[in-house]
Structure 1
Amino acid sequence: MIRSLPRSRTYNLSFNLFILAYFVFLFAPLVVTCVLAFNNSNFPALPWQGFTLDWFFSNGPKRVGLFHDAQTLRAIFTSFKTAVLMAFFSVVVGTCASFLFEKENFRFKGVLYFLMLAPLVIPGVILGISLLLAANTAGAFFDRTFGFDLDVFRPSFWLVVVGQFSFISTFVTLVVSARLRKFDTSLEEAALNLGATPLQVIWFVTLKYLRPAIFGAGAVAFLMSFENFNTTLFLIGSEPTLPINLYMQVRDGSTPIINAVSLMLIVGTSLLALVNLYFTRRGE
């Protein structure tokens, strides 16, 4: 509808109800999950049994809170370590790849760009299985040929890093490339004319312009790695990440500690989003 035209009360009422229903649909499950983290019940579900902080701080024989659950804390640390490495590698490689595709012309550029996009459209389950089979095949080849038994080819932390990198780096490349495409190259030419070296131009001019996109892509890469389940499920070794750990808890029967973990993740994600928004606006 054209905004300048008058709108009926029925339209306004329908519009407001739609907005309300939309946000209730989005946030009601999250609110319920957060509330149940303080429920004085041994089950992660309603009805409400009273307020308690046991699922965060308890260390008793009957209840173990989040901050005393060694298995969950190890899983959080593993996910955090994976996500930090993934964000760093993806930002470095993705930024370099964006320069390659936006500033260079070479044969088969379109083919290479298409191959780069392929991991984004492949289902995570298929990608995880393919990477696992490829790693097992490569590991068997090195073992038979050279007598090397390399841990990176077995389900392990590093195989998870490699598997997630195969598609998260592509996302970073697309985000940085979108901003680099809008860059005014005359700024680089002006800096070169004033005596700057090509490396100084990239560092002080181009990368400074790309900083909001780099920070944003890095934050999203961190979150994508932290919450990834489909691909990680097939590549994980003896160090499960948090999504895998939560899956095993739900499968085997969990306590409201899973709600406590969810609350902490919601708070952490919100803080990361605010930090990313701050740096993005500061860089514009």
Structure 2
Amino acid sequence: MIPSIRQPRAVRLAYNAYVALFFVYLALPLAVVSVFAFNDSQFPSLPWEGFTWAWFFGDARPVIGVFHERPILRAIGTSAFVGLCVSLLSVAVGTCNAFLFNRHRFRLRGLLYVLMLLPLVIPGIVLGISILVFSSTLANGVEDGMGWDIEALRPGLVLVVLGQFSFITTIATLVISARLRKFDESLEEAALNLGAGRLTAVRTVTLPFLAPAMIGAFVVAFLMSFENFNTTLMLVGSDAPLTITMFDRLKEGSTPVLNAVSLLLMIGSSLLALGMIAFQKKS
């Protein structure tokens, strides 16, 4: 709908109703999950038994809250560690990729760019299975040929980090590349004319300009890593991230503690996103 063109009242009402229903459709499941995190019941469903904070702070069975549930806290720590590793790797490689594709012209550049984008269109579970099969085949070959058992090639946190990194780095590359295209290269040339070396010019002129995009890419990569399930499921070992732990809990039967965890994740993700937006507006 074009705001400058006057529309019949019925069309405007239908459009507003559509927008309202769309946002209700998006927000209603999240609202339901949030509400039942405070339900004084063993089950996250109706009827409403009363308001309670026990699913957050309870410390006695049968009601153990999130902040006293050691497996959940351990899984959150594991997810945070994986997310930090994936984010750092993705931003570092994404920055190099941005310079590569924006500053250099070489043969097969287009093919390499398409290959970089390919993980985005491959289903996560297929990507996870492919990485698992490749790493297991390589590990078995090394063990049979040399007698070395390389634990990093077996299911575990290393493979989880590499599996998530394989597609999240593409997102980081696109975010940083979009910022780099706006950079005026004459500023680097001015630094070079004043006696700075190439690396010094990039470090003191270009990277500060890219800082908002790099921080944004870091936050996006962290959030994507933290909530990833499909790829992680295929590569996880004994140290399960939060999404896998919650999935295992659901197989045993859902309790409001999972609703409480989900509410905390929504609040944390929203705060990170709002902080990133505020930082980029100031930059």
TM band (smaller chain): over 0.9
Unaligned runs of 5+ in 1: none
Partner of 1:160: 160
State the AA in 2 paired with 1:226.
Answer: F
Q: Distance in 1 between matches of 2:242 and 2:86?
A: 15
Deviations 1:234-258 (A, max 9, x none): 1000011111111111121021000
State the AA in 2 paired with 1:72.
Answer: I
Which stretch has the larger CA shift, 260-269 or 1-10?
1-10
Q: Distance in 2 between matches of 1:282 and 1:46?
A: 45
State the AA in 1 paired with 2:198.
Answer: P
Partner of 1:245: 245
Q: Give the CA deviation at 1:132.
A: 0.4
Partner of 1:203: 203
TM-score if structure 2 supplies the norm length? 0.97
RMSD: 1.2
State the percentage of identical aligned residues: 52
Partner of 2:85: 85
1:109 equivalent to 2:109? Answer yes
**Residues 1-284 of structure 1: matches in 2 within 5 Å?**
1-283=1-283
Q: Distance in 2 between matches of 1:217 and 1:264?
A: 22
Q: Distance in 2 between matches of 1:280 and 1:116?
A: 26
State the AA in 2 paired with 1:187.
Answer: L
Q: Give the CA deviation at 1:200.
A: 2.0
- Structure 1 3/53 Cα, relative in aligned 2: closer, same or farther at 3 Å? closer
Q: Distance in 1 between matches of 2:17 and 2:105?
A: 52
Q: Distance in 2 between matches of 1:162 and 1:23?
A: 35
Q: Distance in 2 between matches of 1:215 and 1:198?
A: 23
State the AA in 2 paired with 1:73.
Answer: L
Q: Give the CA deviation at 1:11.
A: 2.1
State the AA in 1 paired with 2:85.
Answer: L
- Structure 1 232/2 Cα, relative in aligned 2: closer, same or farther at 3 Å? closer
Describe the SS at the equivalent of 1:238.
coil
Q: Distance in 1 between matches of 2:184 and 2:104?
A: 16
Residues paired across the two proteins, number: 283
Q: Give the CA deviation at 1:2.
A: 4.1
State the AA in 2 paired with 1:235.
Answer: L
- Structure 1 2/86 Cα, relative in aligned 2: closer, same or farther at 3 Å? closer
Q: Give the CA deviation at 1:110.
A: 1.6
Deviations 1:164-218 (A, max 9, x none): 1111111111111122122221121122112222122111211112112111111
State the AA in 1 paired with 2:172.
Answer: V
Q: Distance in 2 between matches of 1:118 and 1:235?
A: 20
Q: Distance in 2 between matches of 1:29 and 1:14?
A: 23
Q: Distance in 2 between matches of 1:250 and 1:59?
A: 21
Describe the SS at the equivalent of 2:135.
helix
Which stretch has the larger CA shift, 5-14 or 271-280?
5-14
Q: Give the CA deviation at 1:6.
A: 2.2
Unaligned runs of 5+ in 2: none
Q: Give the CA deviation at 1:106.
A: 1.9
